[in-house]
Amino acid sequence: MPSETDVVALLRERGLVQDVAGGELASAAAAGPLNVYCGFDPTADSLHLGHLLGLVVLTWFRRCGHTPVALLGGATGRVGDPSGRSAERPVLTDEQIEANVAGIRATLEDLLSDRNGGGPAPVILNNLDWFRDVSLLAFLRDVGKHARVGTMLSRESVRSRMEADNEGMSFTEFTYQLLQGYDFLHMSREHNVRVQVGGSDQMGNVVAGLDLIRRLGLGSGPACFGLTFPLLTKADGTKMGKSASGAVWLSPDKLSPFQLYQYLLGSVPDVDVCRFLRQLTFLPLADIAALEAALGTPGYTPNSAQRLLASEVTRFVHGDAGLQAALAATAALAPGADTQLDAAALEAVAAGAPAAELPRSAVVGAPLADVLAAVGLQPSKAAARRLIKGGGVRVNNRREADELVTLAETDLIEGRLVLLAAGKKNKLLLRVGA
Ligand SMILES: Nc1ncnc2c1ncn2[C@@H]1O[C@H](COP(=O)(O)OP(=O)(O)OP(=O)(O)O)[C@@H](O)[C@H]1O
Ligand SMILES: N[C@@H](Cc1ccc(O)cc1)C(=O)O
């Protein structure tokens, strides 16, 4: 088993290395602590599950004694990375970008903190802090002069767009690789950063940085390196981290710990689960291998690997408290569970689900059918009565089959919340006012 001094071998064993560029990164890492960076563009106000690999890789470097540097793309986010994209990215306003930077910074600070394992203190930078002062003329003269157009055109991110999209690509996005390249150069000079990590789609941009450093940078100084990890994909070829409703967000304001837990529990097939355990968790490889050997044998409890994955990832993203909330809500909502729902579990379950508010007088003593119609879960009272009679309605997770039943004070959880469900999927959290 590779020791913690051999971080590259450790990452390789866990399926977290696609390519290494620049030479013998393993020897450089063994020789002493390195500063290692990964960049995150503020294209949304939260990171998503695809970004988790970058954070896991930074955390492994940190656990092995290296300093993680998370770079916010306050400048690059204004340009847009064409890598892995089939069409031009939409332009965001400065206000949107600032709000997105703030949202992502909060997640980076939390996930890279000591709660996910100790190590050298993380550093968080924003590339707007140096690009703000770079003039166009200075950039063209000092950086552009050292970039070859032929090389830039040959990058996968450019070639695929020139071939696929008859709109081609804007000059703005074409220059993106130089901006990311300049980041690496600048940070190698000013912050002693020696390694850049990123998804495999980032290789062209990483190499652009190594090229600039070779031409302009440290000269005979210490070498710099790139390390890419494979994109997280399922065996069927789809990208992990996309759900029917879009990206799987890491910010609890956009996706509750319960929802993240449920996504991981419900959408990872057995063929993928052990690979994801290796890539996304910090569990010992021997434990994962034992689970892999047990999977599919008669003694194996179905979904236990998925449950482990969901728990470990939810804890990494949301901490122990987030995991406990997710587990409490999951237990409370298990079919047939007679667990008492509490307000915290209910709020967790309903985060992201629609909510409605009605005055107490419209709820306590009112027919359930009227309430279902009033909150819009059913088009009419008559339709609501039919659904109740057919067994399709649940109140606080308990099936209600009497079409004339009225709601009572005892149906209000902590005196203020009712979880209504019409059919399997249509859930609504009813807040009861004064
Ligand atoms: N499934 C994934 N596995 C690993 N890394 C990912 C994954 N999805 C995204 N990334 C990394 O995050 C970076 C930023 O992703 P980005 O914001 O472009 O979203 P995206 O999911 O790639 O977008 P889209 O799929 O909508 O084009 C990517 O360049 C890639 O390196
Ligand atoms: N281009 C990266 C983000 C990034 C930005 C600036 C960098 O210096 C490095 C990486 C992405 O789209 O995910």
Number of domains the chain is built from: 3
Residue 1: per-residue pLDDT:
44
Q: Are residues 321 and 391 in the same domain?
A: no
Strand 193-199 with 35-40, pairing: parallel
Residue 250 falls within a domain, yes or no? Answer: no
Residue 248 falls within a domain, yes or no? Answer: no
Q: Which two tokens stand for residue 243?
A: 């759900």
Pocket test for ligand 2, best of 58, 76, 88, 186 (most atoms within 8 A of CB): 76
- Taking the CA of 57 as reference, the closest ligand is 1
Q: Are residues 412 and 281 in the same domain?
A: no
- Measured in residues, the chain has a length of 434
Span from the CA of 398 to the centroid of ligand 2 (angstroms)? 48
Q: Are residues 329 and 365 in the same domain?
A: no
Residue 216 falls within a domain, yes or no? Answer: yes
Pocket test for ligand 1, best of 14, 16, 51 (most atoms within 8 A of CB): 51
Residue pair 38/122 in contact by the 8 Å Cβ criterion:
no
CA dist list (Å): 427 to 97, 197, 350, 355, 356 = 33, 41, 8, 9, 11
Relative to the CA of 240, which ligand 1 atom is closest?
1
Residue pair 49/232 in contact by the 8 Å Cβ criterion:
yes
Q: Hey, whose CA ends up nearest to atom 26 of ligand 1?
A: 85
CA dist list (Å): 132 to 8, 105, 118, 136, 216 = 35, 19, 33, 11, 21
The DSSP output letter for 201 is G
Span from the CA of 258 to the centroid of ligand 1 (angstroms)? 23
Q: Are residues 65 and 152 in the same domain?
A: yes
Chain centre to alpha carbon of residue 217: 33
| pLDDT tens digits, 95-120 | 999 999 999 999 999 999 999 998 99
Residue pair 172/80 in contact by the 8 Å Cβ criterion:
yes
Residue 272 falls within a domain, yes or no? Answer: yes
Q: What is the residue range of 370's domain? A: 355-432
Q: Number of helices and strands (H, E) in the chain? A: 18, 13
Mean of pLDDT values over 20-43:
95
H-assigned helices in 217-284 = 257-266, 270-280
Q: Which two tokens stand for residue 320?
A: 């122990």
Identify the H or E element spanning 409.
none
Neighbours of 359 (CB within 10 A): 10
Neighbours of 200 (CB within 10 A): 15
Q: Are residues 100 and 177 in the same domain?
A: yes
Chain centre to alpha carbon of residue 261: 12
Span from the CA of 85 to the centroid of ligand 1 (angstroms)? 9
Neighbours of 170 (CB within 10 A): 16
Among 211, 229, 247, give the residue marking a domain's end: 229
Q: What percent of the chain has pLDDT over 70?
A: 93
Relative to the CA of 205, which ligand 2 atom is closest?
1
Mean of pLDDT values over 362-371:
96
Which range, of 71-80, 86-95, 286-295, 382-391, averages the lowest pLDDT? 86-95
Which range, of 25-29, 312-316, 422-426, averages the lowest pLDDT? 422-426
In whole angstroms, give the CA distance from residue 241 to residue 57: 17
CA dist list (Å): 137 to 87, 141, 143, 145 = 29, 6, 10, 11
Residue 339 falls within a domain, yes or no? Answer: no
Please indicate whether residue 51, judged by its CB atom, sits closer than 6 Å to ligand 1. yes
Please indicate whether residue 84, judged by its CB atom, sits closer than 6 Å to ligand 1. yes
Q: Are residues 28 and 82 in the same domain?
A: yes
Residue 218: per-residue pLDDT:
58
| pLDDT tens digits, 323-340 | 999 998 888 766 555 556
Q: Are residues 60 and 99 in the same domain?
A: yes
Residue pair 6/55 in contact by the 8 Å Cβ criterion:
no
| pLDDT tens digits, 161-176 | 888 756 788 999 999 9
Among 303, 333, 363, give the residue marking a domain's end: 333
Q: Are residues 188 and 92 in the same domain?
A: yes
- Taking the CA of 232 as reference, the closest ligand is 1
Residue 245 falls within a domain, yes or no? Answer: no
Residue 295 falls within a domain, yes or no? Answer: yes
Domain containing 389 — which CATH number? 3.10.290.10
In whole angstroms, give the CA distance from residue 111 to residue 129: 23
Relative to the CA of 84, which ligand 2 atom is closest?
12
Mean of pLDDT values over 155-159:
91
Residue pair 51/239 in contact by the 8 Å Cβ criterion:
no
Strand partners, 426: 422
Mean of pLDDT values over 141-146:
93
Q: Are residues 270 and 418 in the same domain?
A: no
Please indicate whether residue 230, judged by its CB atom, sits closer than 6 Å to ligand 1. no
Span from the CA of 19 to the centroid of ligand 2 (angstroms)? 17
> φ, ψ for residue 368 (rounded to 5)?
-55, -40
- Taking the CA of 131 as reference, the closest ligand is 2
Which range, of 181-185, 266-270, 285-289, 329-333, averages the lowest pLDDT? 329-333
Residue 329: per-residue pLDDT:
83
Sign of the CA dihedral with 28 first, then 30, 34, and 40 last: positive
Residue 346 pLDDT level (bands cut at 50, 70, 90)? confident
Q: What is the ipTM of this complex?
A: 0.94
Q: Hey, whose CA ends up nearest to atom 1 of ligand 2?
A: 81
Domain containing 307 — which CATH number? 1.10.240.10
Residue 122 falls within a domain, yes or no? Answer: yes
Residue 210 or 296, more confident:
210
- Taking the CA of 191 as reference, the closest ligand is 2
